[in-house]
Amino acid sequence: MSKQYDYGDKIKVLTDSKEIVGTSLPRPEILDENILVLKLENGYNIGIDKKKIKKVEVLEKYKAKTIKNKTISHKKGLPTVSIISAGGTISSKIDYKTGGTVADYTAEDFMDMIPEIQDIANVKAVKCLNVMSEDMNESDWKTIAKSIEKELETAEGIVLSQGTDTLHYTSAILSFYFKDVKKPIILTAAQRSIDRGSSDAFMNLACATNAAANFEGAGVFVCMHANSSDDFCQLIRGTKVRKMHTSRRDAFRPINSSPVAEIYTDKINILDKDFTKKDLKNKTKTSISFEEKVGLLYIQPLIDPKIVDFYVKEGYKGLVISATALGHVPSEGKNNLITALEKAKKKGLTIVVASQTLYGSTNEFVYANLRKLSVALNLIFAKDMSPETSLVKLGWILGQTNDENEIKEMFETNYAYEYNDKISEDEFLN
């Protein structure tokens, strides 16, 4: 069978037993070269054995689609919200040349697809980055922060859309960069690309815009689906949130915390009144600095103490240990890390101990080996902060000071609700 179609063409395939209509896609390398790949209208991909194909008819040649943005209208009396797009699934659509998703939509495109947002606020669309979140690094965080800093001069609230994979890292570092902010900065995302009918992006964006426009509090928050249905979103502190599922709509959950509010597209139900109040007249002071040479070490039964030596050799300034339970690391046998940690401390490495259990708090006073880490090695314990929040907080602090006492004092200062002195029982698996 000679090929009469190109990738991206809509074609009709007649086989021995049926007629199939779909979009022609490139064949993945793992498939046999005699397989024709189609994307069906329902979004699924199938493979068809070319030996069983009798005829292929081209129904429509591929044409790259362009979206002409509508003029964004401004309505008197509505607050101004800047929607900043940084890429990710929420800004992605299917690439019919490859069958995958690509970061392609801009913040302005959102206005065309979700026009009801313009009934919530006067929206300004800003494109900051166009990357998938797994590719983000500390340089991108600074770019995002600078964009937010600029928009805060005129907007009453900010919505940042990005990918879900590392959203909780971004929300944490922005919480420290903007620890003194007096306006709401709302991060949102999507688990499914916005050109799919089942996308969660529509409600997430509408709810996030409502939060940025009408929430009476200030600070950095994540606004995502509260459950798997399109009921409402929940507002979670940027330092106390984590992605807890690969694909569910309600993947983002509060850790050692409770949601601050239930966010609907047309109303807000406050659940926790302990938040900084919004003050639109207050000029935002920022602390945008970061030391990129910080690492995260996961404790497990096969760990080699030489890993700690690697961080020292490579010139790292800080290391967060994702320890077991209350903050344990191996202290006996071949996996004993104590000697390696002592050497690292003498070389000037700042070491923080967080718990990989996520829920609960570290406690250096329960067991003797923990007291040794705290007293003899003078390690810093992260309380109920997640390892990820601990990592970005340490990088933020080391970007400002190298003084050991200042580092410890700053880490133990609660800047953005990142730790609790007391954890409520109902905050477990909330």
By CB neighbour count within 10 A (0-12 exposed, 13-18 middle, 19+ buried), where does 170 fall?
Answer: buried
Residue 271, phi-psi category: left (phi > 0), alpha (psi -120 to 50), beta (remainder): alpha
Query: Are 40 and 84 members of one domain?
Result: no
Whether residue 173 lies inside any domain: the answer is yes
Residue 80 known to be catalytic: no
Query: Are 250 and 110 members of one domain?
Result: yes
Higher pLDDT, 212 or 104: 212
One-letter amino acid of 105: Y
Pick from 206, 200, 214, 199: which is nearest to 261 by CA?
Answer: 214
| Mean local confidence (pLDDT), 172-181 | 98
For residue 423, what are its two tokens?
């954890």
Whether residue 278 lies inside any domain: the answer is no
Give the pLDDT confidence of 127-154 residue by residue, as tens digits: 899 898 999 999 999 999 999 999 999 9
Query: Are 90 and 224 members of one domain?
Result: yes
- CATH number for the domain spanning 370: value is 3.40.50.40
Pick from 55, 18, 65: which is nearest to 40 by CA?
Answer: 18
The pLDDT of residue 368? 80
Query: Are 204 and 349 members of one domain?
Result: no
Residue 165 known to be catalytic: yes
DSSP 291-305: -S-EEEEE--TT--T
**pLDDT at residue 68 tops 60:** no
The whole-angstrom distance between residue 347's C-alpha and the CA centroid of its chain comes to 33
Pick from 171, 237, 177: which is nearest to 399 by CA?
Answer: 177
Give the count of beta carbons closer than 10 Å to the beta carbon of residue 77.
5
Whether residue 391 lies inside any domain: the answer is yes
Whether residue 385 lies inside any domain: the answer is yes
Contacts of 139 (CB under 8 A, 6+ apart): none
Whether residue 287 lies inside any domain: the answer is no
Query: Are 319 and 253 members of one domain?
Result: no
The pLDDT of residue 100? 56
The pLDDT of residue 225? 97
Catalytic residue among 89, 106, 239, 265: 89
Whether residue 276 lies inside any domain: the answer is no
Whether residue 213 lies inside any domain: the answer is yes
CB 261 within 8 A of CB 267: no
Give the pLDDT confidence of 14-54 residue by residue, as tens digits: 998 899 999 998 877 777 888 889 989 887 889 899 989 99
**pLDDT at residue 271 tops 80:** yes
Catalytic residue among 39, 124, 179, 243: 243
By CB neighbour count within 10 A (0-12 exposed, 13-18 middle, 19+ buried), where does 238 fall?
Answer: buried
Query: Are 16 and 129 members of one domain?
Result: no
Confidence at 175, pLDDT banded by 50, 70, 90: very high
pTM of the model: 0.85
Confidence at 392, pLDDT banded by 50, 70, 90: very high
Higher pLDDT, 43 or 2: 43
- CATH number for the domain spanning 157: value is 3.40.50.1170
Tokens 């919505």 sit at which residue?
A: 159
Query: Are 116 and 228 members of one domain?
Result: yes
Catalytic residue among 23, 101, 106, 164: 164
Residue 339 known to be catalytic: no
Residue 39 known to be catalytic: no
Q: How many Å apart are CA 202 and CA 306, to the nearest integer?
A: 48
The residues pairing with 262 across neighbouring beta strands, listed in sequence order, are 234, 269
The pLDDT of residue 178? 98
| Mean local confidence (pLDDT), 111-125 | 86
The pLDDT of residue 66? 58
| Mean local confidence (pLDDT), 290-307 | 98
One-letter amino acid of 237: R
Query: Are 24 and 87 members of one domain?
Result: no
Give the pLDDT confidence of 75-106 residue by residue, as tens digits: 889 999 999 999 875 655 555 555 555 555 55
The pLDDT of residue 72? 64
Give the pLDDT confidence of 351-386 residue by residue, as tens digits: 999 999 999 999 998 888 888 788 889 999 999 999
Domain that holds residue 155: 80-270
Catalytic residue among 104, 112, 135, 165: 165
The pLDDT of residue 320? 99
Confidence at 342, pLDDT banded by 50, 70, 90: very high
Where do the DSSP E strands lie in 324-413? 350-355, 380-381
Whether residue 186 lies inside any domain: the answer is yes
The whole-angstrom distance between residue 137's C-alpha and the CA centroid of its chain comes to 12
Query: Are 120 and 150 members of one domain?
Result: yes
Query: Are 98 and 206 members of one domain?
Result: yes
Q: Mean pLDDT across the chain, nearest whole number?
A: 91
The pLDDT of residue 56? 93
The total number of structural domains in the chain stands at 3
The pLDDT of residue 63? 82
Confidence at 226, pLDDT banded by 50, 70, 90: very high
The three-class DSSP label of residue 271 is coil
User: DSSP letter at 92?
Assistant: E
Nearest-5° Cα angle at 173, 248 to 286: 140
The pLDDT of residue 101? 54
| Mean local confidence (pLDDT), 323-335 | 95
The pLDDT of residue 329? 96
The pLDDT of residue 45? 87
Query: Are 214 and 333 members of one domain?
Result: no
Tell me what percent of the residues of the chain surpass a pLDDT of 90. Answer: 69
The pLDDT of residue 93? 57
- CATH number for the domain spanning 14: value is 2.30.30.520
Determine the longest span between alpha carbons in the chain, in angstroms: 77
Query: Are 199 and 316 members of one domain?
Result: no
